[in-house]
Amino acid sequence: MEVRKTRLPGVLVLKPKRFGDARGYFVETYNERVFRAAGVAATFVQDNQSLSAARGTVRGLHFQLPPESQAKLMRVVSGRVFDVVVDLRVGSPTYGEWLAEELSAEGGEQAYIPAGLAHGFCTLEPMTEVAYKVDRPYAPQCDSGILWNDPQLAIAWPVKEGEAILSDKDRTMGTFAAFKSPFRYEPSVG
């Protein structure tokens, strides 16, 4: 497996090896031993999948607050996404910074996002399916987020504000400036 560290501590882009022949390919998308060796210490407890019918669908920027904060392992099952994370960990050298990666089903990349980061994506193709593992179950009382187009974050989304397809929830998230982060950066954790 190829493992690439990003400039945000603890955020990894992983690319499992594909074994192909005339029939297609086989890939092991998750193996606890291999992922632990790559630096992914999370124990995943829930799998989620979403389908976005239209190009330009934005989901995010989402996270769960403590005590139910989640690490995620995210991959694209079909299509392509512009995947974004924002560091919300007070004391992190990259606090308040965002990072974007293009992930695709064809490329097979996966993103590991530790707890304490907001996550979102914009679909770059219609009928895009995303699957992700989380290390804590969904807890509606801890569900939170930041406005996808927050002016302070100034994320360079590949869709214009008036063209983005959003849920009502994502249209009304709070701003980064108003968010009082409960997350703390722990260098040993990443």
Mind telling me the catalytic residues? 62, 132
For 4, the enclosing helix (H) or strand (E) is: strand 2-5
Cα separation of 99 and 83, whole Å?
8
Whether omega before 187 lies within 30 degrees of 0, making that bond cis, reads no
Q: How far is CA 140 from the centre of its chain?
A: 18
How far is the CA of 81 from the CAs of 21, 23, 33, 112, 117, in angstroms? Answer: 27, 26, 27, 15, 18
Q: Which two tokens stand for residue 128?
A: 């895009």
**SS3 track for 78-141:** ECEEEEEEEECCECCCCCCCEEEEEEECCCCCEEEECCCEEEEEEECCCCEEEEEEECCCCCHH
HSE (side-chain half, CA atoms, 13 Å) at 94 = 17
How far is the CA of 47 from the CAs of 28, 72, 73, 132, in angstroms? Answer: 16, 10, 9, 6
